[in-house]
């Protein structure tokens, strides 16, 4: 991904001072040269802090003491972006950020206040990288490593600080933290290497969703089968109960097959309370009266429901008419001036400018016509509330009357139940039949559900089919093939780079081991790992090679989210001891190298960096923070001096208040 740094910016605590700019060339190897305590090693913490790190690793003395804000200007495919973050002072980090975006931004002389936050900046960077929003657990995140890949995770492939660049135990930035190390090995690296693609993540999420739905359906089916089996075993008892309630006539047949009993019960389930058997000789006057009351009660209940629905609709109509009337009134008020303008014109031309041209009069005529139409519509609409109110009142009266009738019927039914034991029994029997028919209907529905052609069984078959189909997209064998291919390509790139550096293993094959985040070196004497091959020059060579190989792989992969940016802090330290650096700031001549061979080895490293940058034709930027003097790397192709802090100059200008603290 095209993502390079144009400036690192520092703002003084004193607003009258101009901000400090450290400029970097795009698509080049930029060298910041300087001795100890000049601030060059603070460049990585500043960039990282402005890119939304959770804590600030910028040195407190001198740099934090003298500065109010820190910032970087990025070059991206969307143009330039200034990301500035406030000095946290004694806190671990500040949540105040300032963001500017544009084709070419102007760096402010002083930042008055924040306009963004680290979380907002990280979201913006995630979107810039087009990172997937899907996590690695199918939506059920329970561990830190399950979270989606974020822009912050990609910093492992960008920064190589002083304590990492030649480390035998740590290959990537921030992997000292166990959680981050596990996530990088398990998910982040496989994602950026294309082993786990966004489409595979989407498929994993879909499969997990389908599996959860399948488990629910299977539980429902299991419970339904248990209930249905119990009901089936009691089918004869249900028929006996139906006979008792008069829902079927007793024809003397008791030896029925299961299918015949089921067919008979299905016919019973289609009946209603009014269908239950009652011989005419047993119907008394009280029961007839009760039956009549129940019929009247049902009719009034239906009428009430219809009246209340109509009442609700009229209420909504009244509200709508009121809003429409208000809108018309507003338009009428705005157009009313047209009436006055016509009166003023007297037919002799425009009343404002005096023009007698037809266009202006036509416009005035149209406005007046619109005013008249709105006036007529407004008068019509004004009649609606009156008509609605009349009908609402009529409905309210009808509802009240029906409620009174319903109350009277229920009182009458209660009285019949109290004075006639037969009527009371009839009411009880009606409720019993209704309850039985409801249970029977539900039981038959459940029985049908658990059959091989039931809805639940059909759903389970469909879910299994979908899971099987999507599982093909995330086949483990296919993922393993992707992994082997990606790691093989990276290993091949390392094999081409190592002979161009100073090391003892340039003919050996180096393979990235994802689980351990290290390199396995295979030679004539067997397999070794980075931590047990020995020699600082070997460790440095492998760090340079793996970072350059990964960037080459990323830049050749379409739409890869990893920034095309590398920052190395003091790669020459294994050849140029720290004590010599300190002497270089003591107003003495430049110290001698340990040997010409060491100087040559460092020059090889800078030569390789320039070569790889050139191959990527402007899409890769490398920043090297080093104490190696100009003579070691000058005149190399695609290598340029970004800052020389060997002449008394430092990252924080010495003239700034607080710079010497």
Tokens 């303008």, located at residue? 341
pLDDT band at 298 (very low <50, low <70, confident <90, very high): confident
Q: Which residues contact 86 (CB under 8 A, 6 or more apart)?
A: 68, 69, 94, 96, 97, 98, 111, 114
Q: What is the average pLDDT across 367-386?
A: 64
pLDDT band at 347 (very low <50, low <70, confident <90, very high): low
* Shared domain check, 409 and 317: yes
As a whole number of angstroms, the distance between CA 250 and CA 239 comes to 10
Q: What percent of the chain has pLDDT over 90?
A: 38
* Shared domain check, 413 and 297: yes
* Shared domain check, 442 and 394: no
| Of 210 and 634, more confident | 634
* Shared domain check, 393 and 303: yes
Joined tokens for residue 416: 């019949």
CATH assignment of the domain containing 319: 1.10.287
Q: How far is CA 541 from CA 30, 142, 535, 609, 615, in A?
A: 19, 39, 10, 12, 19
For residue 553, the cross-strand partners are: none
Report pLDDT digits (tens) over 572-581. Answer: 988 865 444 4
pLDDT band at 283 (very low <50, low <70, confident <90, very high): very low
Q: What angle do CA 392, 398, 403 make, to 5 degrees?
A: 125
Instruction: Please name which of 373, 389, 382, 305 lies closest in space to residue 338, comparing C-alpha atoms.
Output: 373
Cβ distance 158 to 565 under 8 Å? Answer: yes
Does position 529 have pLDDT exceeding 70, yes or no? yes
* Shared domain check, 299 and 274: no
Does position 112 have pLDDT exceeding 80, yes or no? yes
Highest-confidence range of 175-189, 430-444, 527-541, 571-585, by mean pLDDT?
A: 527-541
384 within a domain of the structure (yes/no): yes
As a whole number of angstroms, the distance between CA 139 and CA 127 comes to 20
pLDDT band at 586 (very low <50, low <70, confident <90, very high): very low
pLDDT at residue 237 in the model: 67
Tokens 């390509």, located at residue? 489
Query: From the centroid of its chain, how far is CA 524?
Result: 49
pLDDT at residue 274 in the model: 60
368 within a domain of the structure (yes/no): yes
Report pLDDT digits (tens) over 429-474. Answer: 666 777 777 776 776 676 666 665 567 777 777 878 877 777 776 6
Q: What is the average pLDDT across 7-34?
A: 95
Does position 510 have pLDDT exceeding 80, yes or no? yes
| Of 33 and 423, more confident | 33
Max Cα-Cα span within the chain: 131
For residue 70, the cross-strand partners are: 10, 85
| Of 226 and 588, more confident | 226
* Shared domain check, 355 and 329: yes
pLDDT at residue 273 in the model: 60
Does position 584 have pLDDT exceeding 50, yes or no? no
Q: Is 128 left (phi over 0), alpha (psi -120 to 50) or beta?
A: alpha
pLDDT at residue 278 in the model: 47
* Shared domain check, 401 and 311: yes
| Of 394 and 258, more confident | 394
532 within a domain of the structure (yes/no): no
Long-range residue pairs from 492-496, CB within 8 A, at least 24 positions apart, any chain: 493/545, 493/548, 493/549, 493/552, 493/553, 494/542, 494/545, 494/546, 494/549
Does position 612 have pLDDT exceeding 60, yes or no? yes
Give the domain extent around 347: 293-419
Domain boundary among 375, 403, 419: 419
* Shared domain check, 413 and 434: no
Sign of the CA dihedral 326, 330, 336, 338? negative
Q: What percent of the chain has pLDDT over 70?
A: 69
* Shared domain check, 233 and 338: no
Cβ distance 369 to 339 under 8 Å? Answer: no
* Shared domain check, 325 and 227: no
Q: Is 514 helix (H, G, I), strand (E, B) or coil?
A: coil
Cβ distance 29 to 21 under 8 Å? Answer: no
Q: What angle do CA 187, 191, 193 make, to 5 degrees?
A: 125
Among the residue ranges 104-108, 330-334, 628-632, the one predicted with the least confidence is 330-334
328 within a domain of the structure (yes/no): yes
Joined tokens for residue 62: 């001198």
Report pLDDT digits (tens) over 202-224. Answer: 666 677 777 878 888 778 777 76
Joined tokens for residue 409: 């019927």
pLDDT band at 582 (very low <50, low <70, confident <90, very high): very low
344 within a domain of the structure (yes/no): yes
Q: What is the average pLDDT across 642-658?
A: 89
14 within a domain of the structure (yes/no): no
Cβ distance 31 to 633 under 8 Å? Answer: yes
Work out the number of other CB atoms within 10 angstroms of the CB of residue 327.
13
Query: From the centroid of its chain, how far is CA 401?
Result: 57
pLDDT band at 135 (very low <50, low <70, confident <90, very high): low
135 within a domain of the structure (yes/no): no
pLDDT band at 55 (very low <50, low <70, confident <90, very high): very high
Q: Which string of DSSP letters, residue by residue, matches 258-269?
A: HHHHHHHHHHHH
Q: Which string of DSSP letters, residue by residue, matches 2-34?
A: -EEEEEEEEEESSTTSPPEEEE--TTSEEEEEE
Q: Is 79 helix (H, G, I), strand (E, B) or coil?
A: strand
Q: Of all helices (H) and strands (E), which one includes residue 76?
A: strand 67-76
Q: Of all helices (H) and strands (E), which one includes residue 85?
A: strand 79-86
Instruction: Please name which of 298, 271, 294, 275 lies closest in space to residue 437, comparing C-alpha atoms.
Output: 271
* Shared domain check, 415 and 433: no
Highest-confidence range of 16-25, 143-152, 366-375, 383-392, by mean pLDDT?
A: 16-25
Q: What is the average pLDDT across 144-151?
A: 76
Among the residue ranges 94-103, 262-271, 311-320, 334-343, the one predicted with the least confidence is 334-343
* Shared domain check, 404 and 323: yes
Number of domains in the chain: 2
Strand pairing category for 518-523 and 509-513 = antiparallel
233 within a domain of the structure (yes/no): yes
């Amino acid at each position: 991904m095209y993502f390079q740094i144009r400036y690192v910016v520092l703002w003084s605590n004193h607003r009258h001072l101009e901000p400090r700019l450290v400029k970097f060339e795009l698509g080049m190897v930029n060298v910041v040269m300087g001795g100890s305590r000049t601030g060059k090693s603070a460049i990585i913490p500043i960039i990282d802090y402005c890119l939304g790190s959770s804590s600030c690793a910028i040195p407190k003395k001198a740099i934090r003491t003298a500065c109010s804000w820190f910032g970087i200007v990025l070059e991206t495919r969307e143009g330039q972006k200034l990301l500035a973050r406030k000095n946290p002072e004694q806190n671990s980090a500040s949540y105040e950020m300032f963001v500017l975006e544009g084709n070419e931004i102007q760096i402010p002389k002083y930042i008055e206040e924040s306009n963004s936050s680290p979380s907002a900046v990280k979201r913006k960077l995630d979107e810039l990288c087009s990172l997937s929003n899907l996590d690695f657990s199918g939506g059920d995140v329970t561990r830190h490593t399950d979270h989606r890949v974020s822009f912050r995770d990609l910093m492992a492939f960008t920064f190589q600080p002083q304590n990492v660049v030649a480390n035998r135990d740590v290959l990537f930035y921030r992997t000292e933290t166990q959680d981050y190390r596990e996530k990088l090995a398990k998910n982040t690296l496989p994602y950026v290497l294309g082993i786990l693609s966004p489409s595979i993540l989407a498929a994993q999420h879909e499969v997990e969703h389908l599996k959860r739905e399948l488990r629910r359906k299977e539980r429902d089916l299991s419970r339904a089968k248990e209930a249905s089996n119990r009901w089936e075993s009691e089918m004869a008892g249900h028929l006996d109960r139906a006979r008792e309630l008069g829902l079927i006539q007793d024809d003397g047949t008791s030896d029925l097959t299961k299918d015949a009993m089921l067919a008979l019960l299905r016919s019973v389930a289609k009946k209603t309370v009014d269908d239950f058997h009652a011989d005419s000789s047993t119907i008394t006057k009280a029961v007839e009266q009760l039956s009549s009351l129940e019929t009247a009660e049902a009719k009034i209940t239906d009428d009430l429901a219809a009246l209340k629905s109509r009442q609700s609709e009229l209420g909504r109509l009244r509200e709508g008419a009121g809003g429409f009337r208000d809108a018309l009134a507003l338009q009428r008020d705005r157009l009313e001036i047209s009436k006055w303008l016509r009166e003023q014109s007297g037919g002799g031309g425009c009343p404002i400018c005096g023009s007698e041209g037809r266009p202006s009069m036509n416009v005035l005529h149209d406005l007046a016509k619109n005013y008249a139409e709105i006036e007529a519509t407004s008068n019509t609409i004004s009649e609606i509330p009156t008509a609605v109110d009349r009908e609402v009142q009529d409905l309210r009266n009808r509802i009240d009357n029906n409620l009174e009738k319903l109350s009277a019927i229920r009182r009458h039914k209660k009285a019949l139940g109290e004075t006639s034991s037969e009527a009371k029994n009839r009411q009880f029997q009606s409720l019993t039949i209704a309850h039985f028919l409801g249970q029977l209907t539900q039981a038959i529905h459940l029985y049908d559900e658990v059959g091989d052609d039931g809805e639940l069984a059909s759903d389970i078959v469909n879910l299994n089919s979908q899971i099987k189909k999507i599982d093909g997209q995330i086949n483990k064998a296919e993922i393993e093939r992707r992994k082997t291919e990606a790691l093989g390509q990276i290993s091949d790139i390392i094999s081409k780079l190592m002979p161009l550096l100073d090391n003892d293993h340039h003919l050996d094959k180096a393979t990235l081991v994802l689980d351990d985040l290290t390199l396995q070196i295979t030679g004539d004497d067997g397999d070794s790992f980075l931590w047990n091959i020995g020699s600082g020059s070997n460790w440095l060579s492998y760090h340079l090679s793996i970072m350059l190989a990964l960037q080459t792989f990323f830049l050749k992969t379409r739409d890869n989210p990893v920034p095309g940016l590398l920052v190395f802090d003091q790669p020459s330290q294994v050849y140029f001891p720290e004590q010599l650096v300190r002497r270089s700031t003591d107003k003495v001549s430049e110290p001698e190298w340990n040997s010409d061979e060491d100087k040559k080895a460092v020059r090889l490293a800078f030569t390789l960096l320039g070569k790889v940058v050139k191959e990527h034709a402007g899409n890769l930027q490398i920043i090297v923070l080093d104490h190696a003097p100009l003579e070691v790397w000058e005149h190399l192709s695609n290598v340029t001096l970004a800052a020389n802090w060997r002449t008394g100059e430092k990252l924080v200008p010495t003239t700034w208040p607080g710079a010497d603290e």
